[in-house]
Structure 1
C-alpha cells in the first residue's frame, strides 16, 4: 500500500497527498525544448537552487505544491515550525530562493497548500487552517510591488475561511486562463465525506454543486483542471472493491457526471489535467496483481477512456503511486513514486509509447508526493518530500544539462 502520513487537526485526520513587475530570468536552458527532453544524454535531474527549502529545525515537512509563473517556480508546503504545523511558500529567484513566507500568519495550524497560476503571472494559494474550533479553507493571492511579493486574502470570505460546516480540508485550486479561481475541497458532514466546488466570480463565491447543501457529491480528495476548452473535477469514491475515481465535466451550466476512468478499485492516488482540445486526462493508480500500477487515460470524444500505453512502472512487481500529471500543447508527462524514488516518463505520441525522462530521482531517504510542472520552454520541474516519514525535507529539482 502507498505510504501515508496522517496529521490530526482539530479532530480531523487529514491524508496529505494521494497522495509563482519585473521577474528574475526564467530558469532552465533556452536551448532545451520539450522535443529535446528524450533523449537528452547531457541532461540530469539537478537541485533548483540551495536545498532543502523547509524551515523546520525538526525537519518534519511535507505536502508540497508546485506551480510556475512566467517560468519562475513557486513551492508551498506544510512545515512543523515551532509548536504547530504551518504553511510556507518560497519563490525561485535566479540561482536561489526567496525567504520563506508564512501563509497562515493569522494563527492556527495549517496544512495541505494548493498553488495555482493562470499563465499571465497571477498566482493564488489555498490551504486548510484551524480557526476558532473549525477547519476552513483560506485563499490568498500574490501581490508583487517593487519586485517584492506579499500574500493577501482573495476576498473577505476567503479571509474568514470557506467551509460548509466547519470541517473542510484537502483543498485544490485552479485558475482559468482569464484568472477566475475554481476551488474544490472535502468536507466532513456527519460521518460522511462530501466534495464542494466553488467559483469566484463577480466578487462572490458561487457554488457549482447542485445538492441542497451546496455539495457536488459524496467523495474525497477532489482535483480541478481547467483551460479555455474544458473544465473537469475528479475525486475518489468508495466502491465494493476499493476507492475509484469519479469525474465530472462542466457542460456550461452544471458539473455533469461522466464515466469513471477506474476499471478496478483500490485507487491509491490520481492526478487530473485537461488537454488543449478540452479532453480530460488522468494519471491514476489501480490495484492489480497485489500492488498498485500507474496508468494514464484520456477521455475520448465519444466519452470512453483510452489508456495511453500500459502500466508505467519500471518494476512490474513494485508499488507505484502518487502520480502527478502535466498536459501541455507540447507534451504529456507524469512523475510518480516507486520504490522510494521518483520516476518521470513522457508520452511519445508518434511511437505510441512512454519514454523515460532522465534517471530516477533517488535521493537519500525516500522521495514521496511529487508535484510536476513545466516551464514555457518545456523543461520539467518537480517538488517532493524526502525522508523517512519522521524526518522529512522539501526539495525541488529540474531537468536540464
Structure 2
C-alpha cells in the first residue's frame, strides 16, 4: 500500500506529505468576529505580515477588516473598511505599493443597488486612504465583475478590467484602465473582441510595466493568454495558450513576476477524465515551460489556486481540494507538498507575495502559517 501511494504521488508530480521538510508554523489567530470567508496577505516594508479578511457582520453582510502581526499578536488596522458598512465586500486582493506600502482592493455592493464598485485603499502607517478616491463604479449590466489591480511606482493604482460595454464585441473583453487627470481612462483591448475574455490577473515589474494573464474563448472552451507591456507602452502576446490542452475548460489564472520580469502563471484546467487540476508554467523568454505535471492530486478536482514567488524565485502554490487546503513549493526540479495541518471547510486561501505566509478561512475562522 505504501509503495502504491508513493507511486501515485510521484506520478502527480508531488512528494509525499511530510516530505517537504519542516512543518509550517501556525501563527496566533487574528481577531475575527463573525464567520470569515476570504483572506488576503501582504508584507509591509519591514517584512511584517498584514492580513485582510471578510467576515459576516451583524446585519449578515460581508465586512472587510485588516490587522498587522506585532509582538506575537494581531493589531487591528482600522475598523470596518467597507465604504458602505451595510454593503458586501468581495473579490479581496492585497498588493504592495511604493516603498512596501500595503494596499487592498475589493468589490462592494449592497446586493440590491444597481452600481458595482471596485475600491482600493492603501495603509500609510496610521490610516487607510479613502477608498472612494480611486473607485471604479459601473452599472451592473456592464460591470464585468472580474478585475485585478496593482500599484505603480508613483503610488497610483492601475487595473486590468473585464469590460462588457464594448460595441461589436462578442462578450466581455479585457483591457487596462489607467488613472489620468483624476479619472479612469480605458486603454486598448488586450483580448480578441471576437471571443469572450475575463478573469484577468495583473502584475508589475520593477519599472512599473504591466503583465496581464486572462482567459479567452467561448466560455466552454477557454485558453489562458498572457500579454506584457514593453518600455514603449506596446503590448506583446507571450507565446500561445498556456493550457496543457488548448481549448479545454480553464479557470482562475494567477500571475507572479520573477525578479527579471518574466511571468509565472498558475491556472485550473479540466483534464480529459473530467477533474479540474492545478498547472504551472513559466516564461523562458521564448516559450512557456511547464513546471512539472499537474500539481494537484489526480482524481480530485481543485479550485482557488494562489501563487507567490519565494525570495529565491521559486514558485509557492496553494489551492483547495474538496474543502481541504493544500500547498506546495517548486524546488527547481519538482513540486514538494508542504505538510499542512488538516483543514475541513477551507475557503479564500491567500499567500503573501514573498511566499512566506499562508492564510485561509477554515470553518469560518482564519488560520495563518509562516512557511519554512
| TM-score, with structure 2 as normaliser | 0.79
Given the alignment, which residue of 289, 298, 311 partners 1:316? 298
1:182, CA displacement in angstroms? 2.2
* 2:44 corresponding residue in structure 1: 69
Q: Matched residue of 1:385: which SS?
A: strand
Matched, 1:269 2:249: no
* 1:94 corresponding residue in structure 2: 71
Matched, 1:233 2:212: yes
Q: What are the residue-to-residue correspondences of 1:127-138 with 2, within 5 Å? A: 127-130=106-109, 133-138=114-119
Q: Which moved more, 1:274-283 or 1:238-247?
A: 238-247
Question: Whole-Å Cα distance in 1 between the matches of residues 341 and 254 of structure 2?
Answer: 19
Question: Whole-Å Cα distance in 2 between the matches of residues 263 and 165 of structure 1?
Answer: 36
- Counting strand residues as a fraction of each chain, which structure ranks higher? 1
Question: Whole-Å Cα distance in 2 between the matches of residues 202 and 49 of structure 1?
Answer: 44
**Given the superposition, is the C-alpha separation of residues 226 and 49 from structure 1 closer, same or farther in structure 2, using an over 3 Å criterion?**
same
The CA deviation string for residues 1-56 of structure 1, in whole angstroms up to 9 with x for no partner, is xxxxxxxxxxxxxxxxxxxxxxxxxxxxxxxxxxxxx9775x322332225x4322
* 2:8 corresponding residue in structure 1: none
**Given the superposition, is the C-alpha separation of residues 135 and 40 from structure 1 closer, same or farther in structure 2, using an over 3 Å criterion?**
closer
Question: Whole-Å Cα distance in 1 between the matches of residues 290 and 176 of structure 2?
Answer: 27
Q: CA RMSD in A?
A: 3.1
* 2:7 corresponding residue in structure 1: none
Given the alignment, which residue of 126, 139, 142 partners 2:120? 139
* 2:186 corresponding residue in structure 1: 207
Is the CA contact 2:55–2:64 (under 8 Å) kept in the aligned structure 1?
Answer: yes
The CA deviation string for residues 325-378 of structure 1, in whole angstroms up to 9 with x for no partner, is 1124502221222343222222222xx222233x13422x22233211255xxx
Q: Which moved more, 1:276-285 or 1:221-230?
A: 221-230
1:169, CA displacement in angstroms? 2.9
For structure 2, the 5+ residue unaligned runs are 1-17
Question: Whole-Å Cα distance in 2 between the matches of residues 192 and 361 of structure 1?
Answer: 42
1:127, CA displacement in angstroms? 1.3
1:233, CA displacement in angstroms? 0.7
Report the number of matched residues: 335
* 1:19 corresponding residue in structure 2: none
Matched, 1:260 2:241: yes
* 1:28 corresponding residue in structure 2: none
**Given the superposition, is the C-alpha separation of residues 361 and 104 from structure 1 closer, same or farther in structure 2, using an over 3 Å criterion?**
same
| TM-score, with structure 1 as normaliser | 0.73
Is the CA contact 1:268–1:322 (under 8 Å) kept in the aligned structure 2?
Answer: no
Given the alignment, which residue of 249, 272, 297 partners 2:228? 249
